[in-house]
Structure 1
Amino acid sequence: MDKRKKTSDGNAASVKKKRLVITLEQKCDVIERHERGHSNSKIGRDVGMPESTVRNIIKHAGEIKKKGKVASTFCGLQTTTRNRSVTMIEMERLLAVWIDDCNKKCIPLSRAAIQTKASSLFKAVKENGNEVDSEETFSASGGWFDRFKNRVHLHHVKITGEIASADENMAANYPDVLKKIIGDGGYTDQPIFNVGGTGLFWKKIPFRTYIFKREKTQPGFKVSNDHLTIFEQHECSHSNSKTGQAVGVPEAAVQNIIKHTSEVQEKDNVASAFCGLQTTTRNRSVTMIEMERPLAVWIEDCNDKHISHSKTAMQTNAPSLFKVEKENGNEIDSEESFTANSGCFDPFKNQSQLHNVKITEKSATTDENIAAKFPDILKKIIEEGGYTDQQIFNVDETGLFWKRMPSRTYISKKENTQPGFKVSRDRLTLLLGGNAEGDFKLKPMLVYWSRNPHALRGYNQQSLPVLWRSNKKAWVTKAIFEDWFSSYFSPAVEKYCKDSNIAFKVLLILDNAPGHPTTLGSLCENIKVIFLPPNTASLLQPMNQGTIATFKAYYLRKIFEQAVAKTTGDEVMSLTDFWENYNIRDAIENIHHAWQQITTNNMREVWKCILPHCANSNVEGFPSQKQAIIEEITNTGRKLGFDELESDSVLELLGSHSEELTDDDFLHLDQQRAFEDVDDDTEEADNVQMKEFTLKEFEDIFQALEVVKQKIMDADPNVDRRIQIRQDVDKALCTYQRMYEDLKKEKTIQSTLLKYVKQE
């Protein structure tokens, strides 16, 4: 006959008898009952103990009371407390700050490390004379640590190296204690809550899969980190078989891992008692950090100006920046070297959040063949859409050093000798454009790094002669361009078409800059957006064919004219004072004036690169016009005392607005952005990456909604209601449907253009 006990599911299993552990609280309860006159047998039945055990407890009642160190051993929820000294309070406050700091830096902590730190902090605080009683001692015991952890609420800190065990007897008694608390408080089940924390290996997959095996063979940190989990299980005295079941590893593998504990820990760069999700990281030097910031600025600057840059070019530029920064004396360790290898680039790109920068293995060059074919393609699009020159627009971004003098002027030379940030390196971005007819110039959009600079305090930015926008890098982002398109461009061209008595249908031609969203056409059904072929902007972009360069010449001429007026008028001031007082508000007014100098004929002439019929032989071309302006600037400069100023210095300044910055320029530009007060809300808004719908996402949405609508039709017995709901859903999605059709049509046109170009 099988005498083994059966479990609740009916299966026979051997049951090992557990040793009964009696707590001090239970012993005190037995003594209390005995002193109230209860017999030993009754006490045993009430508390679930053998009568012999009860007699043994009563026999040693004196020792039990002495061990408990309490006056009354029957107040279960009351404890004796003592006041902590000023030294203890101050030490624990500093210790909590230290633990939080280590946790933020992912520095693993053990119980021994915290106890050692606590002792040293206690000694330091005591030596500062904060404690009246200089005889106080502190041993950083285990009991102190548990109380300290609860006092400072370090719930997010896991201290490893300790073995926790469950007290089954206390757990068995707790329901009665809780029942009494609920009865005293009159609680129902609804207002009784519980929360608990748990760890989750969020990217772990079964070990017998090729993904797991592939990860295991790769060096560095493992996302699943099974080994550390096994160490934790082993430290908690779990058997190898139980550990293997918990982490999904065979028992033989667990034994092998535990056998080679030291080797595995060394390979994964973690200590054996530390939490599995913490890793050892390597601190980058000050020179590396200071080098990477201006390098990121250089990459974004090249990207903004459509300057192609290869991985090799960046690896060449990085060591030069590193050398410049090292020579500035920012690094204590002068022996550090930097090779700019391929393994350093990807972490750098992630750290700098250069999500909109596409790095090519080979620098792109201008594609003259495709550029030569584009006018015919554009002509076909214009004929199919029935567009006139009044309805065809182009815009382009350009940088402007708004407070820079030619290099051969004493003002520029004086600034170069002064330390710190140089205002001549302060650059803003302008968006300029108009239509092919030349009779409608768009209001310039200005993007600056400060949302509300000091010079504009008290001014209504809506009344400025430019559209004022800001982000911390002073560049046109997708969010800014999309806002410009919806809030200004679309209403402005609609009003222009209405005033000109022409249909409101517009063709907007853009280059492939990262700040130009590809889904602009879905924002307005009356505006069709097409993009120039890649690597052809310098040949085909109308605004690049002289308009922007001449505009900058007019801007500089206006500054020189103002300088002459201020230094020779009734209220005479020195040229140095004039330049020091020249601010961003003055720059805005001069930008407006310079843009007004671009004539209708000038605006039309630049379209001849893609619309040959816009060419006009009777109009003075931009080259001769620009040269005349430069001569005027040179003559005006001599009136100001710039005797060494020549035409080549002015040309150099005009060209510097679009040239790449030097290593020193990027270092100073980065320092400016670090010290200037930029609005935090603006920074956060500009860091948001624009998400664009794809055809596949639209199709998935529509397919999923059809399934939902069909389920509604099948489940709802009310015919009128389910038909109404279906109609409401279709009405709510009409905007998405329109966007989908526009995007599909745009993709079809682009595919056709590409196919046509390849055939040609």
Structure 2
Amino acid sequence: MAPKRSAKALSNVPKRKKAVMCLTEKIRVLDKLRSGLSYSAVGREFNVNESTIRYIQKKEDDIRRSVREAAPESAKVTSIVRDAAMEKMEKQLNLWIQEMTTNKKSMVDSVVVRLKAKEIYSHVTQGQEKVKPFSASAGWLARFKRRYHMKNVKLGQKAGPADEEAAEEFKKYLLSIIHEKGYMEEQVFNADETGLFYKNVGRRTYIMQMASKAPGFKSFKDRATLLLCANAKGDFKCKPLMVHRAQNPQALRGKNLNRMPVHWRWNKKAWMASEIFWDWFHNCFIPEAERYLHSKNLAFRILLILDSAPVHCHEELENAHPDIEVLFMPPNTASLIQPLSQGIIKAFKAHYTRELYSKAFEALDANEETTMMDYWNSVTIRNVIDYISTAWDSIRQATINNCWANVWPDCVKTFEGFEGVRESIKNSVENIMHIAQQISGEGFRDMREGDVEDILAEMAVEPTNKDLDEIAKHGTGVSDDDGSDEGQPKSPRIVPLTAAKIAEWNSALEKIFHDMEECDPVLERSLTFKRLTSTAFVPYAETLKDLRRKAKQTRLKEFFKPVWEGELPTPSTHCESRTPEVELSDLTCHPH
């Protein structure tokens, strides 16, 4: 009997590379089988297993139908059988783009193409039952371009010559304003919105497929709108503003919404609205920017750059504050010159997705019985806020500063350029894919770079007029009322934070420190844990001191408060009394 090979030896054996055949090659395989060749002979000719050849023959009808519906360019690069309606739509869309760009000499950008795709899809599926939803996402557009070899067609992130011309004119105007008025890198800011599907783990993964089939599943429930803002120097990032659908989610009951890592706002659709933006400008942006500039010993003079979205209160902001000048970019130029669109938002989403996947892997690794569905259901908006804060903090100053190169080149100090930004994002994407491949569950091990890019490409959703009417009807903003969603359980009893409770935690930590020092043979390890934990506990230690100080002051007042057994004296008409009979602790005026 041959000796068994060790696990180490098996691990060194190179794995056979998986053969991925496009639809055109699969048609050739089927034609070979029809000519009378055996499964094994065809497998040897195409260098694949016999089982693969059998599987292709089993799917012959679907493969031939998909090739008939698809354009030749798509069949040469597509490896899976796709929905007939999608193939028809893309084939017609490709013809429309050729007509617009070749015959009519028109320019079409990504927005126009995606709207046309949805229009054609609605037409080809008219009257059909069980039509699959199609959102014409940025990720789909990128894959469509690859399938039809549109490398030279200006779609996606590039606009037409008119937009480029407008962008250049705005750039010149901006630089003239900066030079004439002497704005410094610390005083120039850019703000923009982005959509965040905060539980998006990839549409091809098992978890998303199962979740979409669950009763009552609605993807918008896991979507929020974020407003991000940073200055040109890159050393200051405003606290993100988060617009959620719930006014008072259960996961945040008992939490001070004003003391979170995000500014919390809400409406029923989780969309940005002009009222929310106006509130952010006055009550969030101005105070934060003023504190920052004061810490830098700089004058409170600000130049804020925004895109031309209607929610940005164009007319109102022009004279909203005497020390803040607002410039609006021309339409369809944000993708060319807006700093947040040059990589800052994408870097943020890469960090957020990496954090989401990392926490998933930790949860599954800690408990073998935990499934990805269990983790997905356990993620609350409280976790999401934590991940958002971590991701926003992870963006380096150099990344932000480099993203201003297209609109204000002279302010860039690190000289890494966009290559450095793209390299950083690429590393994050590779890290996400590496973590995903370690997560058990169908769809994660097969995750591709395009799936991650699809997640990072999600943009803010702009409401229609009908949606705006609905938002106005339900209201927007923040409220202290119990604005829970219908069907949610009642708010649990809030346990107050007391000095006794913090002292209890402190005693528990001291016991843990003592046990570790007694039991851990590596003293350095236990001391390191004690030092790091003690540092993290400092905010609670300061709160404990504050609570004890207030309690001591209250006891002193009670101790010195006299016991009055007679009638109270008639109050004097003068605030100051030179010879009072008694001094009551609640009087506002005291004798001198």
TM-score, normalization: structure 2? 0.51
Residue identity (%)? 37
Name the CA shift for 1:488/1:416 in 2 (closer, same or farther; >3 Å). closer
Q: Which moved more, 1:508-517 or 1:451-460?
A: 451-460
Name the CA shift for 1:603/1:652 in 2 (closer, same or farther; >3 Å). same
Name the CA shift for 1:659/1:407 in 2 (closer, same or farther; >3 Å). farther
Cα deviation per residue 1:509-557 (whole Å; 9 max; x = unaligned)? Answer: 1110010112213221110111112221111111000010111111110
Counterpart of 1:102? none
Counterpart code for 2:415: S
- Tell me how far apart the structure 2 counterparts of residues 458 and 472 of structure 1 sit (CA, whole Å): 21
Q: How does 1:116-131 map to 2 (within 5 A)?
A: none
Counterpart of 1:600? 397
Is residue 245–residue 269 contact of structure 2 (8 Å, CA) maintained in 1? yes
Cα deviation per residue 1:56-78 (whole Å; 9 max; x = unaligned)? Answer: xxxxxxxxxxxxxxxxxxxxxxx
- Residue 456 (structure 2) pairs with residue 654 (structure 1): yes
Cα deviation per residue 1:238-264 (whole Å; 9 max; x = unaligned)? Answer: xxxxxxxxxxxxxxxxxxxxxxxxxxx
Equivalent position to 2:475, from 679, 682, 688: 682
Three-state SS of the structure 2 residue aligned to 1:399 is: strand
Counterpart code for 1:682: G
- Tell me how far apart the structure 2 counterparts of residues 593 and 581 of structure 1 sit (CA, whole Å): 19
Equivalent position to 1:635, from 434, 446, 450: 434
Q: How does 1:342-741 map to 2 (within 5 A)?
A: 367-423=163-219, 426-518=222-314, 519-569=316-366, 573-615=370-412, 616-618=414-416, 621-641=420-440, 642-655=444-457, 657-658=458-459, 682=475
- Tell me how far apart the structure 2 counterparts of residues 553 and 503 of structure 1 sit (CA, whole Å): 35
Three-state SS of the structure 2 residue aligned to 1:438 is: coil
**CA displacement at 1:366 relative to structure 2:** 6.0
Name the CA shift for 1:319/1:574 in 2 (closer, same or farther; >3 Å). closer
Cα deviation per residue 1:703-726 (whole Å; 9 max; x = unaligned)? Answer: xxxxxxxxxxxxxxxxxxxxxxxx
- Tell me how far apart the structure 2 counterparts of residues 647 and 319 of structure 1 sit (CA, whole Å): 29
Name the CA shift for 1:685/1:454 in 2 (closer, same or farther; >3 Å). closer
- Tell me how far apart the structure 2 counterparts of residues 685 and 640 of structure 1 sit (CA, whole Å): 38
- Tell me how far apart the structure 2 counterparts of residues 434 and 321 of structure 1 sit (CA, whole Å): 44
Is residue 448–residue 470 contact of structure 1 (8 Å, CA) maintained in 2? yes
Counterpart of 2:156? none
Counterpart code for 1:434: A
Name the CA shift for 1:307/1:449 in 2 (closer, same or farther; >3 Å). farther
Show structure 2 runs of 5+ residues with no match: 1-108, 132-158, 480-592
| Higher alpha-carbon Rg | 1
Is residue 225–residue 242 contact of structure 2 (8 Å, CA) maintained in 1? yes
Three-state SS of the structure 2 residue aligned to 1:608 is: coil
Name the CA shift for 1:505/1:586 in 2 (closer, same or farther; >3 Å). same
- Tell me how far apart the structure 2 counterparts of residues 313 and 617 of structure 1 sit (CA, whole Å): 40
- Tell me how far apart the structure 2 counterparts of residues 366 and 427 of structure 1 sit (CA, whole Å): 34
**CA displacement at 1:564 relative to structure 2:** 1.5
- Tell me how far apart the structure 1 counterparts of residues 217 and 248 of structure 2 sit (CA, whole Å): 20
Q: How does 1:172-183 map to 2 (within 5 A)?
A: none
Cα RMSD (Å): 3.6
**CA displacement at 1:644 relative to structure 2:** 1.4
Cα deviation per residue 1:325-373 (whole Å; 9 max; x = unaligned)? Answer: x8469xxxxxxxxxxxxxxxxxxxxxxxxxxxxxxxxx99861112123
- Tell me how far apart the structure 2 counterparts of residues 452 and 374 of structure 1 sit (CA, whole Å): 41
**CA displacement at 1:601 relative to structure 2:** 0.7
- Tell me how far apart the structure 2 counterparts of residues 369 and 420 of structure 1 sit (CA, whole Å): 48
Is residue 301–residue 323 contact of structure 2 (8 Å, CA) maintained in 1? yes
Three-state SS of the structure 1 residue aligned to 2:310 is: coil
- Tell me how far apart the structure 1 counterparts of residues 321 and 461 of structure 2 sit (CA, whole Å): 36
Q: Which moved more, 1:373-382 or 1:588-597?
A: 373-382
Three-state SS of the structure 2 residue aligned to 1:459 is: coil
Show structure 1 runs of 5+ residues with no match: 1-305, 330-362, 687-760
Counterpart code for 2:275: A
- Tell me how far apart the structure 2 counterparts of residues 599 and 315 of structure 1 sit (CA, whole Å): 38
**CA displacement at 1:500 relative to structure 2:** 0.6
**CA displacement at 1:318 relative to structure 2:** 9.8
- Tell me how far apart the structure 2 counterparts of residues 553 and 384 of structure 1 sit (CA, whole Å): 38
- Tell me how far apart the structure 2 counterparts of residues 494 and 683 of structure 1 sit (CA, whole Å): 26
- Tell me how far apart the structure 2 counterparts of residues 648 and 463 of structure 1 sit (CA, whole Å): 37
- Tell me how far apart the structure 2 counterparts of residues 488 and 409 of structure 1 sit (CA, whole Å): 38
Q: Which moved more, 1:413-422 or 1:554-563?
A: 413-422
Three-state SS of the structure 2 residue aligned to 1:468 is: strand
- Tell me how far apart the structure 1 counterparts of residues 208 and 122 of structure 2 sit (CA, whole Å): 29
Cα deviation per residue 1:442-501 (whole Å; 9 max; x = unaligned)? Answer: 110001122112222222211210001111221211111111111111111111111110
Cα deviation per residue 1:268-305 (whole Å; 9 max; x = unaligned)? Answer: xxxxxxxxxxxxxxxxxxxxxxxxxxxxxxxxxxxxxx
**CA displacement at 1:321 relative to structure 2:** 10
- Tell me how far apart the structure 2 counterparts of residues 517 and 422 of structure 1 sit (CA, whole Å): 31
Count the aligned residue pairs: 334
- Larger relative contact order (CA 8 Å, sep ≥ 6): 2
TM-score, normalization: structure 1? 0.40
Name the CA shift for 1:464/1:307 in 2 (closer, same or farther; >3 Å). farther
Is residue 275–residue 476 contact of structure 2 (8 Å, CA) maintained in 1? no
Name the CA shift for 1:679/1:511 in 2 (closer, same or farther; >3 Å). closer
Is residue 393–residue 436 contact of structure 1 (8 Å, CA) maintained in 2? yes
**CA displacement at 1:379 relative to structure 2:** 1.2
Is residue 191–residue 230 contact of structure 2 (8 Å, CA) maintained in 1? yes
Is residue 276–residue 476 contact of structure 2 (8 Å, CA) maintained in 1? no
Name the CA shift for 1:449/1:679 in 2 (closer, same or farther; >3 Å). farther
Is residue 371–residue 533 contact of structure 1 (8 Å, CA) maintained in 2? yes
- Tell me how far apart the structure 2 counterparts of residues 307 and 470 of structure 1 sit (CA, whole Å): 29
Is residue 551–residue 594 contact of structure 1 (8 Å, CA) maintained in 2? yes
Counterpart code for 2:170: F
- Tell me how far apart the structure 1 counterparts of residues 351 and 118 of structure 2 sit (CA, whole Å): 38
Name the CA shift for 1:512/1:648 in 2 (closer, same or farther; >3 Å). same
**CA displacement at 1:587 relative to structure 2:** 1.0
Three-state SS of the structure 2 residue aligned to 1:609 is: coil
Three-state SS of the structure 2 residue aligned to 1:479 is: helix
**CA displacement at 1:572 relative to structure 2:** 6.3
- Tell me how far apart the structure 1 counterparts of residues 125 and 367 of structure 2 sit (CA, whole Å): 51
- Tell me how far apart the structure 1 counterparts of residues 169 and 477 of structure 2 sit (CA, whole Å): 42
Q: How does 1:26-41 map to 2 (within 5 A)?
A: none
Is residue 268–residue 474 contact of structure 2 (8 Å, CA) maintained in 1? no
Three-state SS of the structure 2 residue aligned to 1:522 is: coil
Three-state SS of the structure 2 residue aligned to 1:622 is: helix
Cα deviation per residue 1:649-696 (whole Å; 9 max; x = unaligned)? Answer: 2222222x13989xxxx9xxx9xx99xxx997526999xxxxxxxxxx
- Tell me how far apart the structure 1 counterparts of residues 435 and 232 of structure 2 sit (CA, whole Å): 34
Is residue 402–residue 424 contact of structure 1 (8 Å, CA) maintained in 2? no
